[in-house]
Amino acid sequence: MSLRSPLGRVLGSGSAKDGTEHWWMQRVTAVGVLLLGGWFLYALARLPGFSHAEVVAWAGQPLNGILLVLLSVTLAWHSKLGVQVVIEDYVHGPALKVFSLVLNKFAHVFVAGAAVYSVLLMALRGQL
């Protein structure tokens, strides 16, 4: 006795075995965003002022720069996963769905890259 539907047996389709990993990555990145976001808010609250020079000097410190890069990449990854779920659930045309998923990935890679580039510029401003 099989628990598969008749259509599933005919088509040979079943679980794509991708949902569990996606679910776990959403949870792991959410924890990362919470921890790094908490650090970010705490660190900003401790700044004496919010002038451009003070924030650039703060972000240029090695530990702060590394944590900012990690926060940026984690936020972009978490956002990509969430938008992907929305696209998969609510975009019904096959061509539009593929286009949206590809655009989602490229947009989030671009945003993460721009964030990393910005932090590197602030960190290396004194050395250039």
CATH architecture of 17-124: Up-down Bundle (1.20)
Contact indicator for 24, 77 with CB cutoff of 8 Å: no
- Checking if the pLDDT of 14 tops 60, the result is no
What are the pLDDT digits (tens) for 95-121?
A: 999 999 999 999 999 999 999 999 999
What tens digit of pLDDT does each residue of 81-92 get? 999 999 999 999
Pairwise CA distance, residues 57 & 64, whole Å = 10
Cα dihedral sign, 81-86-88-89: positive
pLDDT of 16 higher than 70: no
Contact 33, 82 (CB under 8 A): no
Contacts of 83 (CB under 8 A, 6+ apart): 104, 108
Q: Give residue limits of the domains in the chain.
A: 17-124
Cα-trace Rg, the chain? 21
Predicted TM-score (pTM) above 0.75: yes
At residue 1, does pLDDT exceed 70? no
Asked if residues 59 and 125 have their Cβ atoms less than 8 Å apart, the reply is: no
Residue 13 confidence class, pLDDT cut points 50, 70, 90: low
CA dist 75 → 32, 71, 123 (Å): 8, 6, 20
Coil, strand, or helix at residue 16?
A: coil
Q: What pLDDT is attached to residue 30? A: 98
The whole-number pLDDT of residue 5 equals: 74
pLDDT tens column, 33-74: 999 999 999 999 999 988 989 999 999 999 999 999 999 999
- pLDDT in the model for residue 9: 67
